[in-house]
């Protein structure tokens, strides 16, 4: 194989510019419904703007409702199979709090809201990120219904998280979240990880 580009020694992970005007970091979100609608709204806007797949995520301080960081699918925009919505949210939240763990001593507890059930990669990252609660809207079967492969996620995966202190809530505002997936499919959105191609969230 001939390489047309030299080896790379850095990578840049960014949110699309429109996110700045989409989220309000100054507002507190005390209700779970409001927190989930941030994630679903990001997923919806991401497909409307053509900047990625139908997935959004947001991390909040559990007690205060402070919005810490958000993420949207960026696989095709950044040519990076690892930048799923949850992964971006984890990275930006940890950068903001200045710690590799959102469960570090002296920090409040954090919760991840995701518009869809995390894939295998993001579910594993949820444990290492330090969030103590994971709430998601659309279910695994909703993503699979439009062609996405969520990877090796099992009931035992969630049991393992629970044993490690990570609470999960599944199917929260599922109909709203699933509608974003269905709109993406109706618009002919690319399914990035079909048949072994690069994965995306």
Is 32 part of a structural domain of the chain? yes
- Other Cβ atoms within 10 Å of 70 Cβ, number: 25
The yes-or-no answer on residue 33 being catalytic is: no
Is 113 part of a structural domain of the chain? yes
Q: What is the pLDDT of residue 3?
A: 65
pLDDT above 90: residue 200: no
Report the C-alpha gap between 6 and 8 in whole angstroms.
6
Is 124 part of a structural domain of the chain? yes
At 39-53, the pLDDT tens digits run 999 999 999 999 999
Q: Both tokens of residue 112? A: 């991840």
What strand order describes the sheet that includes 133-138?
67-72, 56-61, 110-116, 133-138, 167-169
Q: What is the pLDDT of residue 195?
A: 56
* Distance, CA of 121 to chain centre: 11
Is 122 part of a structural domain of the chain? yes
The catalytically annotated residue of 61, 86, 94, 150 is 86
Is 195 part of a structural domain of the chain? no
Split into its structural domains, the chain has a count of: 1
Structural domain span for residue 84? 27-189
**For all residues of the chain together, what is the average pLDDT?**
93
At 56-91, the pLDDT tens digits run 999 999 999 999 999 999 988 998 989 999 999 999
CATH of residue 151's domain is: 3.40.140.10
Cβ atoms of 16 and 72 closer than 8 Å:
yes
Provide the β-strand partners of residue 113: 58, 135
Is 200 part of a structural domain of the chain? no
Q: What is the pLDDT of residue 5?
A: 77
Share of the chain above pLDDT 90, in %: 83
Q: Both tokens of residue 101? A: 């763990």
pLDDT above 50: residue 198: no
Band of the pLDDT at 191, cuts 50, 70, 90? confident
Q: Determine which of 9-13, 114-118, 161-165 has the lowest per-residue pLDDT on average.
A: 9-13
């Amino acid at each position: 194989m001939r390489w047309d580009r030299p080896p790379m020694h850095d990578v840049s992970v960014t949110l699309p510019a429109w996110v700045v005007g989409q989220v309000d970091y100054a507002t507190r979100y005390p209700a779970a419904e409001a927190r989930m609608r941030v994630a679903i709204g990001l997923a919806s806007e991401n497909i409307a703007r053509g900047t990625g797949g139908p997935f959004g995520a947001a991390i909040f301080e559990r007690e205060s409702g402070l919005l810490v960081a958000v993420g949207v699918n960026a696989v095709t925009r950044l040519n990076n199979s690892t930048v799923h919505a949850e992964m971006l949210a984890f990275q930006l939240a940890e950068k903001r709090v200045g710690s590799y763990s959102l469960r570090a001593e002296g920090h409040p507890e954090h919760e991840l809201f995701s518009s869809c059930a995390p894939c295998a990669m993001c579910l594993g990252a949820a444990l290492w990120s330090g969030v103590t609660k994971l709430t998601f809207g659309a279910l695994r079967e909703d993503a699979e219904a439009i062609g996405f492969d969520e990877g090796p996620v099992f009931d035992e995966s969630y049991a393992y998280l629970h044993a490690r202190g990570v609470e999960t809530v599944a199917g929260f505002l599922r109909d709203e979240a699933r509608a974003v997936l269905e709109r993406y499919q109706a618009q002919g959105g690319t399914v990035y990880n079909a048949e072994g191609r690069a994965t995306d969230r």
